[in-house]
């Protein structure tokens, strides 16, 4: 059994992991989802570190999208963390940002769904949510998800990352091959650079919602590697 902390991406909350959590519990693991404040990159890292500390023992961190940058920072020099799993997620190296990583590849077609406001906050256009983020999720569910999306400070994305813990830990990556938000080739490049055990899922950006069993299987496998360190 492993303790697993799950970290969502921008504009979401921990509830996007619900079906993955159910699958992990069936495997015998204990899983908790963090709710990031999304007020700053540093605040988000601090929230994950608080969750890790509350558990007290070894922890596997798994993240989606922007949450990948968060767990890369939260795990660095943290002896409790023994493995990392990324799902259509950013895996930055020191000094990199979300925009600087995106610049390595052509813009993904779903980018128009992101709205950046003059007050420094960002959100998603609910009318574009299904097509851009969750095309393989039933339309009714995608509409409900779009209705509960949260805002995120745009500064979260441009804060430079520190050294990545993925250099020192067993790491897994699941590429979403049908992703319209984070370019699949960027995902493959990040996974290769991190030396991750990589699988490809024929999924939208939200593989957590469309393929929760496959996502849980990736976490389960890397958790075993973490226990063997």
* Chain Cα centroid distance, residue 50: 18
* DSSP annotation of 104: T
Measured between alpha carbons, how far is 12 from 148 in angstroms, rounded to an integer?
Answer: 8
Helix (H) or strand (E) holding 116: strand 114-116
Question: Which ranges in 81-206 belong to alpha helices (H)?
Answer: 98-102, 129-133, 139-147, 155-158, 184-193
Q: Which residue has the tokens 């990199």?
A: 96
**In what side-by-side order are the strands of the sheet with 114-116?**
114-116, 121-124, 152-153
CA end-to-end span of the chain, whole Å?
15
User: In whole angstroms, what is the distance from residue 160 CA to residue 165 CA?
Assistant: 15
Helices then strands, counting H and E runs in the chain, come out as 10, 9
Stated pTM of the model: 0.96
123-171 tens-digit pLDDT: 999 999 999 999 999 999 999 989 999 999 999 999 999 999 999 999 9
- In 3-state terms, what secondary structure has residue 93? coil
- CA separation for the pair 204, 5 (Å, rounded): 22
Separation of CA 212 from chain center:
14
pLDDT digits (tens, 9 = 90+) for 42-92: 999 999 999 999 998 899 999 999 999 999 999 999 999 999 999 999 999
Closest of 38, 69, 60, 228 to residue 163, by C-alpha? 69
Q: If pLDDT is split at 50, 70 and 90, which confidence band does 112 have?
A: confident
Where do runs of H (alpha helix) occur along 13-154?
Answer: 18-26, 41-55, 67-74, 98-102, 129-133, 139-147
């Amino acid at each position: 059994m492993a303790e697993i902390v799950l970290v969502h991406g921008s504009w979401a909350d921990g509830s996007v992991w619900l079906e993955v959590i159910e699958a992990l519990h069936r495997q015998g693991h204990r899983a908790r989802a963090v709710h990031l404040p999304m007020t700053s990159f540093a605040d988000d890292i601090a929230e994950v570190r608080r969750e890790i500390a509350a558990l007290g023992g070894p922890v596997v961190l798994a993240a989606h999208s922007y949450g990948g940058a968060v767990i890369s920072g939260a795990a660095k020099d943290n002896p409790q963390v023994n493995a990392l799993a990324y799902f259509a997620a950013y895996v930055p190296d020191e000094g990199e940002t979300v925009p600087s990583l995106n610049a390595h590849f052509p813009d993904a077609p779903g980018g128009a769904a992101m709205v950046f406001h003059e007050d420094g906050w960002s959100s998603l256009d609910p009318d574009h949510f299904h097509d851009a983020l969750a095309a393989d999720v039933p339309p009714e569910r995608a509409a409900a998800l779009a209705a509960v999306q949260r805002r995120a400070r745009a500064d979260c994305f441009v804060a430079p990352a520190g050294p990545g813990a993925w250099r020192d830990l067993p790491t897994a990556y699941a590429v979403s091959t049908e992703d319209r938000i984070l370019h699949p080739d960027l995902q493959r490049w990040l996974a290769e650079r991190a030396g991750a055990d990589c699988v490809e899922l024929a999924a939208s950006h939200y593989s957590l919602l469309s393929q929760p069993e496959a996502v849980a299987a990736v976490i389960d496998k890397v958790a075993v590697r973490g226990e063997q360190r």
